[in-house]
Structure 1
Amino acid sequence: MKLPNSARAVVIGGGVAGCSVAYHLARLGWSEVILVERHELTEGTTWHSAGFVGQLRSTVTQTKMIMYSAGLYPELAELTGMDPGWRGVGGLRLATTSERVEESLRLAGAGETYGLDLSVLSGAEAGEMLPLLEVRDVRAALWLPGDGWLDPALLARALAAGASMLGVQIFTGTRVTGLDVVGGEISGVRLTSGAEEWSVQADTVVIAAGAASGRVGRLAGVDIPVVPIKHQYVVTEPFEVPSSMPTVRDPDNIVYFREEGGGILVGGYIRTPETWDTDRPLAEPRTLFDADMPKFQESWESAVRRVPALGRTGIVKVVHGPEAFTPDGEFLLGETSVRGLWAAAGFCVHGLAAAGGVGKIMSEWIVDGSPEYDVFGMDLRRFGGHARSASWARAKALDSYSKYYDIVYPGEERAAARPLRRSPAWVRHAELGAVFGEKASWERVNWFESDADPSPGSPESGDAREVRPLGWAGRIWSPAIRQECLATRDAAGLFDQTSFSKLEISGHQALVRLQRVCAGQLDRPPGSVVYTQLLNERGGIEADLTVTRLAEDSFRLVTGTAFGVHDAAWLRGHGLDVRDVTSAHACYCLWGPRALDILGTLSDDDLTFGYMKAREISVGNVPVLAQRVTFVGEFGWELYCPVEYGLTLWDALMEAGAPYGMRPAGYRAIDSMRLEKGYRVWGMDITPETTPVEAGLGFAVARDKDFLGRSALETAARPSRLDASDGSGAPVRLACLVLDDPRQVCLGGEPVRAGGEPASRVTSGGYGHRVERSIAYAYLPAGTAPGDRVEVGVTGTWIGATVTAEPLYDPASDRIRRLPA
């Protein structure tokens, strides 16, 4: 078979990723798709995968992808007549500590919202199910009958066969030598096989080259932060282990195992991993390293304790090969900075299990412009420019690998490759005892430990109330959070939000083009601030931001810290010229009833301009753009200045605020107060899978213009799109819940039942210190009304909750819109 001169799409890589993408592109009707593989199919990293499939994951999207993949296997078998390698033996996940039991209960609650069939077993019940196990130290186990394992080679071959039957041409023994880029867009692939060379013209190219994806990306000047890490597992000699043995994960002992050829395959995530440092990853087929049994000792000893029979069994095979890890242990999917050049890489940990889902997502993204699922957590664009640093990616990936089986508590911060990006006021924050978090490599204040004590003379002085939440919500917590909230309510809080992503768009076509992609009405006078969403064709929310009209032909968009690269790419993909000015401006937010007094001591300008307006003012000697907006429900401004003035501005505001009782404050206080006001967070309460109507944001949608997604919303004047967890067929709306027990606090993902039946999951939750309530949000049937009762599962305990009209705090928004008395 001869390579064509042109193709509609070229897929680079013949492992499960490439084969799945090619299959799904063809299934969506694309012809002239070719797949090229340097060696034979699966001979990169796919062939030596252990093949575990665990459907219960930490996010709904991961779980949906794996559940979709499970449904794909019978389809492949019917289409090709080939065995796709699926072994549906079920899976056990063991818990040997009280902390791991809590995690298991949270996971079980999440599983209910996903519609997974699972049970929580005792240790004895787990032992009865699998008598090989030593279970005296097992406190609980999750049993998932839909889990199992895959033969990686059989799956890839079945996908390849299915792709071929749908018209995909597959070329093995074909190496990529170059990627042609013209005007920022991919135009073709240069290939060689033996002494022959080809050039294939294509405006869609997918890099699915496993551990070699980074090298291939560099041929086009693109950074794909894949870090090859050495991973090891062993296979024992046969000792009559039944093929029906369920898979077992024992995360407290960093080990996993399953049946293999009548023996047991044993693997683990060691604490001291090593990268594979080479300029030519996967240059040779079926690459393996020498066995390193000393490094594997902890995993093996853990396995022997769990399965004593292993101590009497010999090891017949050691598989020590490269795995394609990423800085956060998640996939790298989506379009790169070169238009038409896509990545489907980073198949570490659960790549094989989700291979079908990856193919589905990538094909929908390429063909339709956006996938069905919310994939931001896997989007290549979740990283900024720092991801091109090999040392940064390596440090993050090693940390991710070494802690893969650790319990990750919400709000827990990791220290690898930090600090990196810092506000001009960072040094002052450190002096005040700031507890820092990290997002998109920005150091951000979670809270100031110096705020932990009540202010002298405050109602709580000398009698600080104990409001530490129970369970997980109280693990990473400080009384300072409460004090910062109350100071903002009673006087003022000063928040450093320099990490805000800031994008600028200008030119004579700026308004016209922004009007097309923004659902809100932007044709307002200069100095106006508009809250709006960017929607996809289905009406789903791709971004949630503010747009400030700086001049007739100049606009500044402000979006979340981690979303700037994503949002800029979305805008560029719709024809806008975007400049990322995040690092050019510091931003401090001064909010609270004394904010006007405080800023008035530093500025002679008129500060009484209205809500959702912006003005250029001077604060002391510093030029500032003041925007009268809030994310905490109090009067005040976002204050932007050129970054070189940032430290001076912070110092001036701190000095001016001290006599008024102002406190510096952090993001945990912001999150508490935004819940009280019902302000949504993208990626949690709103996603590409939810519409503004469902999310209660219809007020932000213009009725007097056309925009991307409008037709979908109009069709959605029909019953709106169904939430995946709601099997009733009813349209859904985001609802505010108040839990009966204020110390039971939701963190997101908890199951919600209505009438004793599964109804939804919590999108976000927390404690509102100004209203003294435990608050949660969840999508519920549209007919749900204030006063209706539901139950929320918080770490295995069902807590009653009341659907409540929102916002809970200052319902008329007088504190925001009116000048302080």
Structure 2
Amino acid sequence: MRDPDHIVYFRGEGDGLLVGGYIRTPQVCWPAGGEAPLATARTLFPPDLPRFEESWANARRRVPALRQAGFERVVHGPEAFTPDGEFLLGETSVGGFWVAAGFCVHGLAAAGGVGKVLAEWIVDGQPEFDVSHMDIRRFGGHAASRSWATAKALDAYSRYYDVVYPYTEWSAGRPLRRSATWPRLEPLRGSLGEKAGWERVNWFGEPPGFVPSAPRPAGWAGHVWSPAIEAECRATADAAGLFDQSSFAKLDVHGPVSFLQRMCAADVDRPVGTVVYTQLLNARAGIEADLTVTRLGEAHFRVVTSTASGVRDLAWLRRHAPEGVGVEDVTGAYGCLCLWGPAAREVLRPLVDEALDFRFMRARRLTVGPVPVLAQRVTFVGEYGWELYAPTEYTLTLWDLLLSAGAPSGLAPAGYRAIDAMRLEKGYRVWGSDITPETTPDEAGLSFAVRIDKPDFLGRDALLAARAAGGPRRRLRCLVLDDPRTVCLGTEPVRVDGRPCGRVTSGGYGYRVGASIAYAYLPSTVEVGAKVEVGVFGTWQSAEVRADPLYDPANARVRGA
């Protein structure tokens, strides 16, 4: 039994009761320069009852019989915590050297499952289940820093038993990785979040006099929230939004196109200047990565993937790369500013000498004012515009140029919560929640991104076999909740005809369509128009399965005039 509110737990121990607890102010057992950790097997320390005082007082409150009980034995030993409180599993950067460590007090309970997935991972190349949140490659090079890892591990321990609100941000080990736009964030009242060590704006200060039209989400979803999210979505839809996505992981691949043709489900053997949206599949056709590939030269490709996936995707590509193919992480070399919205062209046109006539999913090198950029006609919010990649030393100048040029048109700086709201309306999937190594493109509604007639790409045989067996038995469906104030956060159960049959992968409020949106994998027999129920904090909420995307299904706004 455990009581998280009072940071104490119990279990039977012979004729007595074992009482354990946590402390709010943990300390490092082996400071830098001291004895090596675990130099002596099964290290134990002398009892330190004053530090156990809060947990012991709470234990006696919860179990009154303990008020007259004494201690038979005190066990005071070290515990290993990782920077985020999750396991460390998988192959390290040293090829063939695997690790299963950092079990953070619950390793015994997980031992059987860890043994299973690790054995499958080593033998088959991937485990049966998605363990990306435990993959050792979720950390960048900064995790090798003892000072950073210590600060984060102490923080992870201190809140191990806390009930945490969604979107809560933690301050330990921050700031670490900062975009070139950092000096402008405080004057614009940027509310910051962190991803893979990067400082990123969740939202900026709402404009003076802004009157929101959407309701504040009820319950937990409305706890870490701001009406500024709606203001940024409105500005992007009506004029333009400027987003800093410099934290995008960027990988340069040098070598013959045959390598990426083998790795990618889509056809990337396209003319120079083409941008291709694609997935990297495993042998079971599960989605290992979701990314874009831009052909910069005959044998030069730029892979752009999510912030948290860079190290993992780099390792996946390098693991499969033949001799003569190089894969390099260039994330820090380039900033990325995204200019999206119907006024994006009029904002950018006066700043460039080149024509802005290139089409959707094309890339071209431009000079914006004095700044050299690679402009990609790509969007993740469903509005017209560009991703503008500039060398890092130019990124702040580019930000200032675009904000100044866009002010007369109504351009507004915007953050990641607005991106998430708008991508839900457009049905854009997020790797790690909507799509994972356990889901296939056919299940996820991404068959359009697969070139099945392309021979010999990884995962093709499994896709063909599944189609021959009748196709997917489940599909990712868009749900619109009847109550717009009830907003899903992910993992909520979904039931059809009273029977649980799926969980929400991601959810939020769509300000352009005025609806609470959720996505969930449901049986393929559940068609558009079906009524379902979503369990949100103890209540079953009615919802309807809708065709997606909800916003601009013809892509007229994306393609522009």
Give the TM-score of the pair, scaled to structure 1. Answer: 0.67
Residue deviations 1:6-34, cap 9 Å, x none? xxxxxxxxxxxxxxxxxxxxxxxxxxxxx
Q: Secondary structure at the match of 2:77?
A: strand
Residue deviations 1:290-349, cap 9 Å, x none? 111000000000000001111101101111111111000100000000100011000113
Contact 1:329–1:349 (Cα < 8 Å) also in 2: no
Contact 1:720–1:732 (Cα < 8 Å) also in 2: no
Alignment partner of 2:4 out of 236, 245, 251: 251
Q: 2:290, 2:137 → 1: CA distance?
A: 16
Contact 2:293–2:302 (Cα < 8 Å) also in 1: yes
Q: How does 1:107-256 map to 2 (within 5 A)?
A: 248-256=1-9
Aligned match of 2:65: 309
Q: Which amino acid in the other structure matches residue 515 of structure 2?
A: R
Q: 2:83, 2:489 → 1: CA distance?
A: 24
Contact 2:240–2:412 (Cα < 8 Å) also in 1: yes
Contact 2:206–2:227 (Cα < 8 Å) also in 1: no
Contact 1:770–1:809 (Cα < 8 Å) also in 2: yes
Q: Which amino acid in the other structure matches residue 668 of structure 1?
A: R
Distance 1:721 1:250, change over 3 A: farther
Q: Secondary structure at the match of 1:761?
A: strand
Residue deviations 1:187-230, cap 9 Å, x none? xxxxxxxxxxxxxxxxxxxxxxxxxxxxxxxxxxxxxxxxxxxx
RMSD: 1.1
Q: Which amino acid in the other structure matches residue 794 of structure 1?
A: V
Alignment partner of 1:426 out of 160, 168, 182: 182
Aligned match of 1:150: none
Q: Which amino acid in the other structure matches residue 72 of structure 2?
A: V
Q: Secondary structure at the match of 1:437?
A: strand
Q: 2:470, 2:114 → 1: CA distance?
A: 26
Aligned match of 1:368: 124
Aligned match of 1:548: 294
Q: How does 1:788-799 map to 2 (within 5 A)?
A: 788-799=530-541
Aligned match of 1:485: 233
Deviation (angstroms), 1:720: 7.1
Contact 2:452–2:460 (Cα < 8 Å) also in 1: no
Residue deviations 1:447-471, cap 9 Å, x none? 00244742xxxxxxxx433511000
Q: Given the alignment of the two structures, is residue 741 of structure 1 paired with residue 490 of structure 2, yes or no?
A: no
Q: Which runs of 4+ in 1 moved over 3 A?
A: 450-453, 718-722
Aligned match of 1:590: 339
Q: Which amino acid in the other structure matches residue 402 of structure 1?
A: S
Aligned match of 1:322: 78
Deviation (angstroms), 1:718: 3.9
Q: Which amino acid in the other structure matches residue 382 of structure 2?
A: G
Contact 1:786–1:805 (Cα < 8 Å) also in 2: yes
Alignment partner of 2:13 out of 260, 263, 271: 260
Alignment partner of 2:463 out of 708, 713, 720: 713
The number of residue pairs the alignment matches comes to: 554
Q: 2:435, 2:548 → 1: CA distance?
A: 16
Which 5+ residue runs of structure 1 have no aligned equivalent?
1-247, 455-462, 723-730
Contact 2:484–2:515 (Cα < 8 Å) also in 1: yes
Distance 1:318 1:701, change over 3 A: same
Contact 2:288–2:437 (Cα < 8 Å) also in 1: yes
Aligned match of 2:112: 356
Contact 1:452–1:478 (Cα < 8 Å) also in 2: no
Q: 1:653, 1:629 → 2: CA distance?
A: 18
Q: Which amino acid in the other structure matches residue 330 of structure 2?
A: V
Q: Given the alignment of the two structures, is residue 685 of structure 1 paired with residue 431 of structure 2, yes or no?
A: no
Q: Which amino acid in the other structure matches residue 717 of structure 1?
A: R
Identity of aligned residues (%): 66
Contact 1:453–1:483 (Cα < 8 Å) also in 2: no
Q: Given the alignment of the two structures, is residue 672 of structure 1 paired with residue 408 of structure 2, yes or no?
A: no
Which 5+ residue runs of structure 2 have no aligned equivalent?
none
Alignment partner of 2:524 out of 782, 786, 791: 782
Aligned match of 1:413: 169
Q: Secondary structure at the match of 2:345?
A: helix
Q: 1:370, 1:551 → 2: CA distance?
A: 32
Deviation (angstroms), 1:818: 2.6
Q: Which amino acid in the other structure matches residue 19 of structure 2?
A: V
Q: Secondary structure at the match of 2:374?
A: strand
Q: 1:573, 1:698 → 2: CA distance?
A: 26
Aligned match of 1:498: 246
Q: Secondary structure at the match of 2:529?
A: coil
Q: Which amino acid in the other structure matches residue 580 of structure 1?
A: D
Distance 1:718 1:758, change over 3 A: farther
Q: How does 1:432-511 map to 2 (within 5 A)?
A: 432-451=188-207, 453-454=209-210, 463-465=211-213, 467-507=215-255, 509=256, 511=257
Q: Given the alignment of the two structures, is residue 815 of structure 1 paired with residue 557 of structure 2, yes or no?
A: yes
Contact 2:82–2:149 (Cα < 8 Å) also in 1: yes
Deviation (angstroms), 1:783: 2.1
Q: Which amino acid in the other structure matches residue 694 of structure 1?
A: E
Aligned match of 2:304: 558
Contact 2:86–2:102 (Cα < 8 Å) also in 1: yes
Deviation (angstroms), 1:279: 4.1
Q: Given the alignment of the two structures, is residue 524 of structure 1 paired with residue 270 of structure 2, yes or no?
A: yes
Aligned match of 2:352: 603
Deviation (angstroms), 1:596: 0.1
Residue deviations 1:545-597, cap 9 Å, x none? 00000011100000000100000000001015210000000000000000000
Q: 2:209, 2:103 → 1: CA distance?
A: 47
Deviation (angstroms), 1:719: 4.7
Contact 2:80–2:105 (Cα < 8 Å) also in 1: no
